[in-house]
């Protein structure tokens, strides 16, 4: 390996530690506390060994084996995450329409739960870090919630500036965090080295055998140690498989194991420390800097999840499950760095509600887990269809590879259902509300397109009729945006009716979004000449591509159509939806769709059309 490639690998590994593992790295703040603080586990040395063994093997099975070794292999043109996995699975079964639709519904629901996770994670992470002040002095307790809200407001207010400026500090700060938690763990392990025997699975199996009921109950708290496991798959496109795997096995897994075992060693010596074992590991002189470092680490973990919410929303819009939203690019180098104001402040309001409603990290732990476990279960289900129908592995091997993980995920999921009325309803409510919006938008768009097709006029026949007695041709190019290729856009009809002219060049452009992450420029355009200097153009985008119509149309010059920016006009139809009682969706969903359609950001900005060259013509459509 060359020196430059080694340097690049090191930089990517450092970046992966900061962005990918921030969330799972801060789980040491609350995971052990919630298991032993639940009151379900009698405090005995055997139980401490058993719980630590369960922690270690949960990390090994779910993160190391499932995500790092198996799921990371399921890349969609180098991209990962639930949306990429969903696209891969749906493409794998495209010859089975009913199964494909079912998988799409399951995958979209999992994506919606990501937003529930995006609310709980920053709330529980920052709150648990700031709660370290209570260990310094109980007098600080009244400042925990206000300080948490101030930190979170600052984090969300910074989003519009992008993360390129502060992002370069994420990796180093998180490395310091992992070194710190490892050192804290070792400092207590040396007082009781025999705690390392808890690595043996027989301690975990023994605890489960002796306490099957308690084991089932505490799995809802144990799952806190793998929070952020989905992130390492979602961020594969940013860092690649190798850096993510290296970061996990060389830094993250060892540091987490040492800290958990250190907390266990300390609890054997001082059972009273169970009220906040992480911060009570530190000597008094180190408490204040540790709280500061923990707060920075949780802010970084939250930042990764917020950025993920922006990225996922952009992808879901491209797939056609949400209306257009204002998207701002915060980096000229990295097209993946985007900021969505509506998503940003919507998340912030929901997080403030979570902090004020639940008041402590222990109460939030009750809300945490259902969304994460459901997503893990959905990932396992989708993985089966990918390895069976895409990779063409034998059925027996596919069942063997995924059924083990399905049983583990199902056990954690079922345990978390016990927390449904203790707060688990909160992320499910958020996910359910967003799922309703997404499905309503998708079904509404289908109804709208059906209505447009019913009223559509065939473009080729129309142009033939127009050129029997052609209107006046004016200089320049007209670009007409149309939902369906081969149909006459409403904007063209209005233009001919009111202006009674036709441009020298006319492009009828349809944008097609596909269930693949990227479509290269060599496959971007489909062009068909319609005669009389008119062209039918279809522009193809993947769900991670940034739509840019003027840029895409530059390559049409080679086909004999001169596209000059100063003499090109873009004609759009701005439809007003009128809900009607009858066939289609229920009336309240039609009203909801009409409101979403009305509030969608303009197509001109979304497609990067120049402001001074856009003509919008309105029409009313009943659905």
Mean pLDDT for 153-174 is 80
Q: Are residues 347 and 462 in the same domain?
A: no
Look at residue 237 in the predicted model and tell me its pLDDT.
76
Contact 477, 504 (CB under 8 A): yes
Give the residue-averaged pLDDT of 537-566.
Answer: 84
Using CA atoms, how far apart are residues 136 and 157, in angstroms rounded to an integer?
Answer: 29
The answer to whether residues 465 and 387 belong to one domain is no
Q: Is residue 442 part of a domain?
A: no
Per-residue pLDDT, 164: 59
Q: Is residue 433 part of a domain?
A: no
In the predicted structure, residue 183 carries a pLDDT above the cut 90: yes
pLDDT greater than 80 at residue 336? no
22 near 174, Cβ under 8 Å?
A: yes
Domain boundary among 372, 407, 423: 423
Residues 616 and 537 in one domain: yes
For residues 308 and 176, membership in a common domain is answered with yes
Residue pointed to by tokens 């209505």:
451
Q: What whole-number distance in Å separates Cα of residue 577 and Cα of residue 598?
A: 8
Characterize the bridge pairing of strands 534-542 and 525-531.
Answer: antiparallel
The CATH number covering residue 380 comes to 1.20.1740.10
Stated as kind and residue range, the H or E segment containing 247 is helix 241-247
Q: Are 487 and 389 members of one domain?
A: no
Shared-domain flag, residues 384 and 461: no
Mean per-residue pLDDT over the chain, rounded: 87
Instruction: Kindly state whether residues 378 and 497 are assigned to the same domain.
Output: no
Residue 335 has pLDDT above 60, yes or no: no
Q: Tens of pLDDT along 12-71?
A: 888 888 888 988 999 999 899 889 877 778 888 899 999 999 999 999 999 999 999 988
Alpha helix ranges (H) inside 359-485 = 361-367, 370-385, 395-416, 425-454, 459-466
Residue 414 pLDDT exceeds 70:
yes
Q: How confident is the model at residue 232 (pLDDT cuts 50, 70, 90)?
A: confident
Q: Identify the pLDDT of residue 333.
A: 57
Is a pLDDT exceeding 80 seen at residue 583? no
Q: Is the pLDDT score of 540 beyond 90?
A: yes
pLDDT at 6: 64
Number of compact structural domains in the chain: 2
Q: Let me know if residue 257 belongs to a domain.
A: yes
pLDDT at 365 over 90: no
DSSP 467: T
Residue 2's pLDDT is what? 56
Report pLDDT digits (tens) over 133-142.
888 888 888 8
Does the residue 429 lie in any domain?
no
Please tell me whether residues 276 and 345 are part of one structural domain: yes
Which run of H or of E encompasses 501?
strand 501-514
Per-residue pLDDT for 597 more than 80? yes
Angle at 530 between CA 527 and CA 533, to 5 degrees: 95
Are 593 and 459 in a shared domain?
yes
Are 165 and 171 in contact by the 8 Å Cβ rule? The answer is: no
Give the structural domain span for 160.
14-423
pLDDT given for residue 252 in this prediction: 95
| pLDDT confidence bin for 205, thresholds 50/70/90 | very high
Asked whether residue 447 is domain-assigned, the answer is no
pLDDT reported for residue 214? 92
Tell me which of 296-300, 307-311, 617-621 is least confident.
617-621
pLDDT of 166 over the 70 cut: no
Q: What was the pLDDT predicted at 215?
A: 93
Note the pLDDT of residue 279.
Answer: 92
Q: Are residues 471 and 361 in the same domain?
A: no
Report pLDDT digits (tens) over 479-529.
998 888 888 888 888 888 888 889 888 999 999 988 788 888 888 888 988
Question: What mean pLDDT do residues 286-309 have?
Answer: 89
Question: Which tokens sit at 182?
Answer: 């490892």
Q: 4 or 257, which is more confident?
A: 257
Q: How far apart (Å, rounded) are the C-alpha atoms in residues 249 and 521?
A: 38
Q: Does residue 9 sit within a domain?
A: no
Residues 482 and 549 in one domain: yes
pLDDT of 515 reads: 79
- Band of residue 3 on the pLDDT scale cut at 50, 70, 90: low
> Is residue 437 in a domain?
no
Q: What's the pLDDT score for residue 422?
A: 85
Determine contact, residues 82/100, Cβ cutoff 8 Å: no
Domain boundary among 423, 441, 466: 423
- Shared domain check, 418 and 458: no
Higher-confidence residue: 424 or 331? 424
Whether 384 maps to a domain, the answer reads yes
């Amino acid at each position: 390996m060359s020196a430059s490639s080694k340097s690049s690998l090191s930089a990517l590994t450092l970046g992966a530690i900061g962005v990918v593992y921030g969330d799972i790295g801060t789980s040491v703040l609350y995971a052990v506390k919630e298991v032993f603080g639940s009151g379900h586990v009698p405090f005995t040395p055997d139980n401490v060994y058993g719980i630590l063994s369960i922690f270690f093997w949960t990390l090994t099975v779910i993160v190391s084996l499932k995500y790092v070794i198996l799921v990371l292999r399921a890349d969609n043109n180098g991209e990962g995450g639930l949306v990429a996995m969903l696209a891969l699975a749906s493409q794998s079964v495209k010859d089975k329409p009913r199964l494909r639709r079912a998988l799409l519904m399951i995958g979209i629901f999992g994506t919606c739960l990501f937003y529930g996770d995006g609310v709980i994670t920053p709330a529980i992470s920052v709150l648990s870090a700031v709660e370290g002040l209570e260990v310094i002095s109980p007098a600080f307790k009244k400042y925990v919630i206000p300080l948490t809200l101030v930190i979170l407001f600052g984090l969300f207010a910074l989003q519009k500036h992008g993360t390129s400026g502060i992002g370069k500090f994420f990796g180093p700060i998180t490395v310091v965090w992992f070194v710190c938690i490892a050192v804290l763990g070792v400092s207590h392990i040396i007082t009781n080295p025999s705690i390392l025997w808890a690595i043996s699975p027989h301690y975990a199996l023994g605890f489960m055998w002796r306490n099957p009921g308690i084991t089932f109950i505490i799995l809802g708290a144990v799952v806190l140690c793998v929070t952020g496991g989905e992130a390492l798959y979602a961020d594969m496109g940013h860092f690649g498989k190798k850096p993510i795997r290296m970061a996990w096995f060389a830094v993250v897994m060892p540091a987490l194991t040492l800290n958990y075992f250190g907390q266990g060693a300390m609890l054997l010596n001082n059972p009273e420390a169970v009220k906040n074992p992480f911060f009570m590991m530190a000597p008094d002189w180190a408490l204040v800097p540790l709280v500061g470092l923990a707060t920075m680490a949780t802010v970084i973990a939250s930042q990764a999840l917020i950025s993920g919410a922006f990225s996922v929303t952009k992808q879901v819009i491209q797939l056609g499950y949400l209306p257009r939203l204002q998207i701002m690019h915060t980096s000229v180098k990295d097209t993946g760095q985007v900021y969505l104001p509506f998503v940003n402040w919507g998340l912030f309001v929901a997080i403030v509600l979570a902090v004020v409603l639940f008041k402590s990290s222990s109460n939030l732990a009750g809300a945490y887990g259902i969304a994460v476990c459901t997503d893990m279960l959905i990932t396992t289900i989708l993985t089966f269809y990918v390895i069976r129908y895409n990779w063409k592995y034998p059925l027996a091997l596919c069942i063997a590879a995924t059924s083990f993980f399905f049983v583990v995920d199902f056990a954690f999921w079922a345990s978390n259902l016990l927390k449904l009325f203790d707060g688990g309803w909160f992320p499910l409510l958020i996910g359910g509300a967003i799922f309703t919006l997404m499905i309503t938008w998708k079904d509404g768009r289908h109804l709208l397109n059906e209505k447009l097709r019913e009223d559509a006029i065939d473009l080729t026949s129309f142009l033939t009729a127009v050129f029997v007695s052609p209107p006046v041709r004016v200089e320049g190019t007209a670009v007409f945006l149309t939902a369906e290729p081969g149909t006459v856009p409403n904007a063209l009809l209005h233009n001919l009716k009111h202006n009674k002219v036709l441009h020298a060049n006319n492009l009828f452009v349809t944008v097609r979004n596909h269930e693949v992450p990227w479509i290269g420029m060599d496959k971007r355009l489909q062009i068909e000449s319609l005669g009389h200097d008119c062209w039918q153009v279809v522009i193809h985008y993947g769900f991670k591509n940034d739509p840019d119509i003027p840029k895409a149309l530059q390559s049409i010059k080679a086909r004999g159509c001169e596209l000059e920016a100063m003499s090109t006009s873009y004609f759009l139809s701005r439809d007003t939806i009128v809900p009607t009682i009858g066939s289609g969706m229920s009336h309240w969903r039609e009203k909801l769709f009409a409101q979403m359609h009305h509030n969608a950001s303009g197509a001109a900005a979304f497609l990067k059309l120049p402001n001074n060259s856009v003509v919008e013509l309105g029409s009313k459509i009943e659905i």
